A = this chain, B = another copy of it.
Amino acid sequence: MSRTYHHGALAEAMVDEALERVRAHGADQVSLRSIAQALEVSPSAAYNHFADKDDLLRAVGACGLAALDERMSRVLAAHPADTTDDARARFSGLGRAYLAFAIDETHLFQLTFGPICAAKELPPEETGPFRKLISALDDLDRWGLLKPGSREGLDLTVWAATHGMATLLVEGAVPPEAVEPFIDSMARLIVRE
């Protein structure tokens, strides 16, 4: 394996480098050429592995979705038992995890749910985060914790509210301190008692 030619795993290396740069400075500030330079590779080398720049960014966006999913998985793992309290904690915990991701990984969040990735990615109802949210709602419903007659359309409403709150956080339109009041308000609207 000569050191000067043929990187060997350029695709992964480029995604890694791009991921780091997106997290630090946002997708707009990332150039294909600078990534290639950092990897000591010519700019055009990328085109053996990605159709174009957006294709690479889409791969980075997929990492973002995976990272979010993992955060939410950790929440579920922390509340495995089947009690009503756990059902409540799972629901609010998932919301908190989603918003924490938006706060901690602002730039990555913007790429993952931005126009570049939205175009050619799977519909939300097939993503891990959305499915976890739905099953948390189903859980609440199973325990009779939802306000009567509110289940219909609730998936989308809760998803929209959470995602909307996340984008407001990301844009700086709302400070991080607003997260807990938001979760409380949501719970008050949805959960009985």
Nearest B residue to A158 by beta-carbon distance? Answer: B161
A149 to B189 alpha-carbon distance, docked (Å): 9
Cβ–Cβ contact B157 & A185, under 8 A? yes
Given A164-B167, A189-B150, A156 and B178 contact (CB-CB distance below 8 Å) = yes
List the B side residues contacting A74 at CB < 8 Å: none
How many chain copies? 2
Interface-side segment among A15-23, A40-48, A110-118: A110-118
Asked if residues A188 and B150 are in contact (CB atoms below 8 Å), the reply is yes
Interface footprint category on A: 35 or more
Q: Is the CB of A157 within 8 A of B182?
A: yes
CB atoms of B149 and A188 under 8 A apart: yes
Known contacts A156-B181, A157-B189, A181-B156; A173 and B124 CB within 8 A of each other: yes
A153-190 vs B: 1/0 string, CB under 8 Å? 11011011111111110011110001001101110111
Contact of A113 among B28, B113, B153, B171 (CB under 8 A): B171
**A171 adjacent to B115 (CB under 8 Å):** yes
Question: Which B residue's beta carbon lies closest to that of A110?
Answer: B115
Separation in Å of the A73 CB from the closest CB of chain B? 21
Say if the beta carbon of A123 comes within 8 Å of chain B: yes
- Taking CB atoms, residues of chain B closer than 8 Å to A113 are 167, 171
B161 lies within 8 A of A157 (CB): yes
User: Are B186 and A157 interface neighbours, CB within 8 A?
Assistant: yes
Closest to A106 in B: B115
Is A152 interfacial (CB 8 A cutoff)?
Answer: yes
- Show 6 A/B contacts (Cβ-Cβ < 8 Å), sorted by A: A113-B167, A114-B171, A124-B174, A153-B182, A156-B174, A157-B165
